[in-house]
Chain A
Amino acid sequence: MSARAEKLDLFKLHKAEYSARRKPTLVEIGPGSYLTVRGRGAPGSELFSQRAEVLYAMAYTLKFESKFAGRDYTVSKLEGLYGVDGQSMNDLTSMPMSDWNWRLMIRQPDFIVDDNLAAARETLRAKGKEGDFEAATLETLEEGTCVQMLHVGPYEEESRTVEAMTTFAAGEGLTPNLWHHEIYLSDPRRVPPERLRTILRLPVG
C-alpha cells in the first residue's frame, strides 16, 4: 500500500490551507473546486447517507477514469459545511439538527470539469449503480480568512474547540461567518472516536 511521490495530492499542494494545530490560527483559503452534495437534516439521516454514497461513488469514479487516462491523483479528504438559515455559527449547536443545512465535499483538481462528471455518471449507470448522481456537482468555494484548529476526539466534544476558536476570533476583532466547516482527517466508520482527527474551520472574512 505505498503511495507514489509524483502523484498530485491537493492536500499536500495546499499544505498551508490544511494546517492542523491544536490551537486556533488564522489561515487564508484560496478558491477551490469541490465535488459537492447538499441537503438538509441531521447528519446520519437517510438523505445524508445517500448523498455521501453518491459523493464517494462519483469522487472515486472521477479519480479512476482520470488515472486510467494517464492522470492520477489522490482522492482528497471528505469535508462538510454546516449552517442554519439566518443563524450565526455560534447558534448551530443549539438548533435542532433537522434544521441543519449541509454540504459534503471532496476537493478536485482543476482539470476535473463538468464533462468528467457527466462521463462518471454514465460509467456508474453502465455498471448498474443506482443513485441520484446528478446531486453531485462541481462548486467553487473561496473562504478567504478563516480561524482554523485541529479537533481530536468525538464530534460531540467539538464545542470546546469551537469555543476556543470564537474566543480567539473575538480577540482578533473578527466575527465568524454563517457556516461551520469540518475537514475529516479520519474516517469515523473505522477510527475509534477518541482518535478522530478533524480540522475545524470558521470563515471570518
Chain B
Amino acid sequence: MAADTLESDRRTDYPERVLRVLVHIQRNLDDDLPLDELAEIACFSPFHFHRIFTGMVGEPVARHIRRLKLERAANRLKHTRREVLGIALEAGYESHAAFTRAFRAAYGISPTDFRAARLPALMESASGVHYDAGSEPPAFSPVSPEDNTMDVEIRSLEPTRVAFLRHVGPYDEVGSTWERLTDWVGRECLFGPDVRFFGMCWDDPEVTPPDRIRYDACVTVDETVEPEGEIGLTTVEGGRFAVVLHQGPYDRLGETYAALLGRWFPRSGHSPGDPPSLELYLNDPDGTEPEELLTEIWMPTGGSR
C-alpha cells in the first residue's frame, strides 16, 4: 500500500496509541480488561476510546478479545494434545458445548474435527491483528479503505436555548422520553417549521452500562418558554463540531460514530472534544421508514485527546 507521507505523519499518533492497547490485550488475555483502563493506556478519553478502537481495528473491544481467545484455543488444539474442555475453560467458556458452539460459528467446524483436520488457526481480521503466541507486537494496520471519502464538515454552533428531558437508561429506550417531551411540546403549542429536535449524548452507549447511559432529549425554544415539572431549560454550548450525516436506523449510529472517530479523526488533524456530542434528527421517526432516517452527528472538536 503506497502511503502519502503527510497522511502517514498525521496518522502515526493514533495507530501507535491503539497498538499499545493491542499489545496490552495480547499480554493480558486472561485478565479483566476494563475499557477505562484500556482508554488510559491509549491516553484517549473513555468517551471516545471505544469508538476509535472499533473504527481503527474493525471490531469492538469485546469481540476482538473473544476472537483472540478463540484463535489461541485453535492454536492449542492444533499444537498440543490437551483436552478440549481445558482449552474451552481457558478461552472463557463454561462448558464443552458452549465452546463448541462458539468455535463452530467462528471456524465452521467442531473443535475435535478441527484438531484432526489441521486447518489454519486464524480467523478473519480486518486489521491483520491475530493471536500471537510469542507476544510480539501485533502487525497492526488500521482499517482505512473506502472512508477516505467520508463526508465530514467542520461547522460552528451558536449557543442554543433548549427545553430538555433527561433520560438515564438503555439507549434504545429513549423513545419513551421523547414521547413525554413531544407531548409537552404539543401541549404548549410549541411546534413550528423551525423547531429542531436533537439528543445530547453524554456517554457512549456501547461502553457505559445501559442503566447509566445519560441522554438529553432536546427541543429548541425561544426565551419566553419557562421550565415546567420534569422539563428543564438549558443553553447548549456553542463551538466547533465535526459533523457527519448518518442515514438509516438509529441502532446503527454506532457504526458511523466508529468511522468518524476511528477513521476520519485520526487523519483530520482535529481531535475529538469532551462530551456531549449531539445527534440532530433531520426527519421525524414518526412517519419515516428506518432506512430513510437522517441523523447528523455533531462531535465537538478541539478538546484534549
A binds B: yes
> Residues on A close to B: CB < 8 A?
1-3, 7, 9, 11, 49, 52-53, 56-57, 59-61, 63-64, 67-68, 74-77, 123-124, 127, 129, 185-187, 189-192, 195
- Do B282 and A129 touch across chains, with their CB atoms under 8 A apart? no
A101 to chain B, nearest CB (A): 20
A92 to chain B, nearest CB (A): 23
Residue of A at shortest CB range from B281? A1
- Interface residues on chain B, number (Cβ under 8 Å): 25
- Do B186 and A9 touch across chains, with their CB atoms under 8 A apart? no
Which residues of chain B from 226 to 261 have a CB within 8 Å of any chain A CB? Answer: 245, 250
Q: List 7 A-B contacts (CB under 8 A).
A: A1-B174, A1-B250, A1-B285, A3-B286, A56-B193, A61-B191, A67-B186
**Bound Cα distance from A36 to B175, whole angstroms:** 31
Q: B170-200 CB contact bits vs A (8 Å, 1 = yes)?
A: 0000110010000100111101111010000
A3 to chain B, nearest CB (A): 5
**Bound Cα distance from A63 to B187, whole angstroms:** 10
> Residues on B close to A: CB < 8 A?
174-175, 178, 183, 186-189, 191-194, 196, 245, 250, 280-287, 292, 294
A160 to chain B, nearest CB (A): 23
- Do B189 and A57 touch across chains, with their CB atoms under 8 A apart? yes
- Do B193 and A64 touch across chains, with their CB atoms under 8 A apart? no
Contact partners of B283 in chain A: CB under 8 A = 186-187, 190-191
**Given A1-B178, A2-B175, A189-B193, also A9-B287 (CB < 8 A):** yes
- List 4 extra interface pairs beyond A2-B175, A49-B193, A127-B189, CB under 8 A: A3-B286, A60-B189, A67-B183, A195-B294
- Do A53 and B192 touch across chains, with their CB atoms under 8 A apart? yes
**Given A1-B281, A2-B285, A191-B294, also A123-B189 (CB < 8 A):** yes
**Bound Cα distance from A7 to B285, whole angstroms:** 13
- Do B189 and A1 touch across chains, with their CB atoms under 8 A apart? no
**Given A190-B283, A191-B283, also A1-B175 (CB < 8 A):** yes
- Nearest first, the 6 closest Cβ-Cβ pairs linking A and B are A64-B186, A60-B191, A2-B175, A1-B285, A190-B282, A74-B287
- Do A61 and B188 touch across chains, with their CB atoms under 8 A apart? no
- Do A11 and B287 touch across chains, with their CB atoms under 8 A apart? yes
- Do B192 and A57 touch across chains, with their CB atoms under 8 A apart? yes
B294 to chain A, nearest CB (A): 6
A131 to chain B, nearest CB (A): 10
**Bound Cα distance from A53 to B190, whole angstroms:** 11
Contact partners of B189 in chain A: CB under 8 A = 57, 60-61, 123-124, 127, 129
- Do A52 and B196 touch across chains, with their CB atoms under 8 A apart? no
Contact partners of B178 in chain A: CB under 8 A = 1
Residue of B at shortest CB range from A78? B193
- Do A76 and B287 touch across chains, with their CB atoms under 8 A apart? yes
Partner of B192, one of A56, A67, A75, A185: A56
B242 to chain A, nearest CB (A): 16
B286 to chain A, nearest CB (A): 5
Residue of A at shortest CB range from B175? A2
Contact partners of B196 in chain A: CB under 8 A = 190
**Bound Cα distance from A32 to B184, whole angstroms:** 29
A106 to chain B, nearest CB (A): 11
B192 to chain A, nearest CB (A): 5
**Bound Cα distance from A191 to B281, whole angstroms:** 10
B213 to chain A, nearest CB (A): 15
**Bound Cα distance from A59 to B191, whole angstroms:** 9
Most central of B193, B281, B292, B294 by chain A CB within 10 Å: B193
B216 to chain A, nearest CB (A): 13
Contact partners of A7 in chain B: CB under 8 A = 286
Most central of A56, A59, A76 by chain B CB within 10 Å: A56
Contact partners of A75 in chain B: CB under 8 A = 284, 286-287
**Bound Cα distance from A52 to B191, whole angstroms:** 12
- Do B193 and A53 touch across chains, with their CB atoms under 8 A apart? yes
Contact partners of A53 in chain B: CB under 8 A = 192-193
Contact partners of B280 in chain A: CB under 8 A = 190
B185 to chain A, nearest CB (A): 8
